[in-house]
A and B are shown apart, each in its own frame.
Chain A
Amino acid sequence: MLVDGIKSRPQYPGLTADAFAKVHVFAADGDGAQAVIDLFERQGRDINGRVIVVYADTAPGAPDYASRLEALPVELVHCMPTVATAITRLVGVLNVARMGTRIYASGTETMIGLTVQLAQELGMDPATVITEHRGSRARRVQCVHCKGMTENVTTNIVTCAHCGLSLLVRDHYSKRRAAFQGVCVDAEVRGEIPEITEIFK
């Protein structure tokens, strides 16, 4: 019924330093911290000016990313407990951002997606956010029927957390919604549901 390889699926080419930026704002969650650390190892001398990190400390197994981030030549690391609180903090950081600010996002697709969405809402070109995927491939899915968001989806089919319909998770992605699209999978014959497999690990 639906196809793979949809073109609206975001690409995450990897972090590279913007040598011309005056302020560097990093938004990361979980293993995304390692992408920031790797960037500083690789291109640290290209990162000039102020550096601010907003980090959602969600990595499993407590690898102590927070203190490793603080050991970098950064002005401040905002260490937050969840993606949601990190995004709220990011709003505060970006609200006072000026010309010459570069945004980097690394970690889960959800963290990257919400950062890009926020940048767009603040009037920046979403394509200018530099991104790198690390860690879980779990998706944020919007139910096309009730519009509710279901977080951390790892299976091809998921029950909508709001209206309860069984949703097929498509590759069709909206930057504005920061979500993949979920469409009722058994609309033609209720209860006729393909095998459920974990594909977004």
Chain B
Amino acid sequence: MNQEFKKTTFRDDYTFYNSPESIRRFPFPFWEDKYMYSVNIEPHVKGPAGSVYEFPIDINEHYVSEMADRAIVLKEDPLRCQALPHMMLAQWDFLELLMTSMARDYPQWFSLTTEGDHWHWINKPLGIDQKFTFGDPSTLPQEPMEYIGRQCQGDFSIQDQRDGQLWMDAGIITTQADWSLDFDVGMNFMEWHGPVPLAHDMKVFDRALKFLLNLQLGQPVRRLNWTMTINPRLDTSPENFHKWGSDRTTVTPENVGDKVHLRVELQALFRLPRSNAILFSIRGYLIKLRELVTVPKWGRRLPRVLGSLPMELIDYKGITRYRDTTLEWLAKYDDGQPTSPGGGPD
């Protein structure tokens, strides 16, 4: 992806859109015509060139715009970035993983040179040139997690591992699907997943936790999650729910294609080397339904999935008010033909 970075917005006038290439590489999350929770975890290995799986950290055409949006969120609400005191080593682990990945996989934009603990980081798209001492927070303008988190797409939380549990003890979370880092910080895996319906009874979290506690260094894993968002709004936080919640009432048969977005999270988990913590990256992708239906397979499949969702999930994902209008609009794209297995376009 050697494109220009777009200058679009995720608030106010909402000028966000995807290029045709960006649509083709969208990680469509439904591999069959229905959806239910599962521990759909797979190795986070290198995928096809140009795909969102090509590199561990995916940087795309929205990079500069997303970082500008993150800066606005952090300016208005610094509590979106928090780290408990014992997480400093994990913060450095996190910074190292991001800088080395980004510099290795996108040398045209990022460079990292190291001489012992003396590091030199250059971020060309954001115009940053920083020399610092690895391990010394006073040599960076922010703590390491915030510093590099402001320069990488996706939300990040860092989990400490102790007592056979994972504890969400740090995070930089500005594009979340309706959960609060400030409220959840310090919770364990079961606690922060508390509000998710159905999945607890299915033992999804027990199995996922057992799996993650054994996550190995150098063998990251990934899964997709999804929800729907009205307007291409990244900051769908509970903190601002009273500001964006009413958007859900603005969907009409005329504006479905432009207003309703499928929001997919490519979630990846990495074991960190020094702290033994686990990094959870939540890389969000937005696509307008008008863009989505340009892929015929997705246009067929999405109405089938939305039409067969359990009521609890519809409520939990906040789709209730506009599901019917959306389904009516999508109906014309489902010609009844069978769809091929897997999520990718035909």
Q: Which of B200, B238, B320 contacts A7 (CB 8 A)?
A: B200
Number of B residues, CB within 8 Å of A: 34
B191 touches A7 (CB 8 A): yes
Q: Which of A3, A6, A142 contacts B315 (CB 8 A)?
A: A3
Q: Main secondary structure on chain B at its contact with chain A?
A: helix
Q: How far is the CA of A3 from the CA of B238 in the complex (A)?
A: 16
Q: How far is the CA of A177 from the CA of B187 in the complex (A)?
A: 11
B242 touches A184 (CB 8 A): yes
With A144-B183, A174-B186, A176-B185: A188-B249 Cβ-Cβ less than 8 Å: yes
Complex interface: chain A residues within 8 A of B193 (CB): 7
Q: Is the CB of A93 closer than 8 A to any CB of chain B?
A: no
B195 touches A184 (CB 8 A): no
Q: Which residue of the partner chain B has the closest CB to A174? A: B183
A181 touches B180 (CB 8 A): yes
B193, B245, B312, B316 — most chain A CB neighbours (10 Å): B245
Q: How far is the CA of A36 from the CA of B246 in the complex (A)?
A: 49
Q: How far is the CA of A1 from the CA of B312 in the complex (A)?
A: 9
Complex interface: chain A residues within 8 A of B137 (CB): none
**Chain A: minimal CB distance from B105 (Å):** 37
Q: Is the CB of B241 closer than 8 A to any CB of chain A?
A: yes
Complex interface: chain B residues within 8 A of A3 (CB): 195, 197, 312, 315-316
Q: How far is the CA of A185 from the CA of B27 in the complex (A)?
A: 33
Complex interface: chain B residues within 8 A of A174 (CB): 183-184, 186-187
Q: Which of B191, B246, B249 contacts A8 (CB 8 A)?
A: B191
B195 touches A1 (CB 8 A): no
Complex interface: chain A residues within 8 A of B187 (CB): 8, 174-176
Q: How far is the CA of A172 from the CA of B186 in the complex (A)?
A: 14
**Chain A: minimal CB distance from B71 (Å):** 21
Q: Is the CB of A193 closer than 8 A to any CB of chain B?
A: no
Q: Is the CB of B334 closer than 8 A to any CB of chain A?
A: no
B192 touches A8 (CB 8 A): yes
**Chain A: minimal CB distance from B13 (Å):** 22
Complex interface: chain A residues within 8 A of B190 (CB): 7-8
Q: Is the CB of A22 closer than 8 A to any CB of chain B?
A: no
B194, B243, B248, B316 — most chain A CB neighbours (10 Å): B194
B183 touches A172 (CB 8 A): yes
Q: How far is the CA of A187 from the CA of B192 in the complex (A)?
A: 23
8 Å CB contacts to B: which residues of A150-201? 165, 170-177, 181, 183-184, 187-190
8 Å CB contacts to B: which residues of A11-39? none
A187 touches B183 (CB 8 A): no
With A6-B195, A7-B194, A7-B200: A188-B185 Cβ-Cβ less than 8 Å: no
**Chain B: minimal CB distance from A67 (Å):** 39
B238 touches A1 (CB 8 A): no
Complex interface: chain B residues within 8 A of A145 (CB): 238-242
Q: Is the CB of A9 closer than 8 A to any CB of chain B?
A: yes
Q: Is the CB of A147 closer than 8 A to any CB of chain B?
A: yes
Complex interface: chain A residues within 8 A of B194 (CB): 6-9, 171-173
Complex interface: chain B residues within 8 A of A172 (CB): 183, 194-195
Q: Is the CB of B203 closer than 8 A to any CB of chain A?
A: no
Q: How far is the CA of A69 from the CA of B119 in the complex (A)?
A: 62
Question: Which residues of B come within 8 Å of A, CB atoms?
Answer: 79, 163, 180, 182-187, 190-195, 197, 200, 238-246, 248-249, 312, 315-316, 318, 320-321
9 A-B interface contacts by CB (under 8 A) = A144-B239, A145-B241, A145-B242, A172-B194, A172-B195, A173-B194, A187-B244, A188-B249, A189-B249
Q: What 7 new A-B contacts, CB under 8 Å, besides A120-B186, A188-B248? A: A7-B200, A125-B163, A165-B242, A174-B183, A183-B241, A189-B246, A190-B246
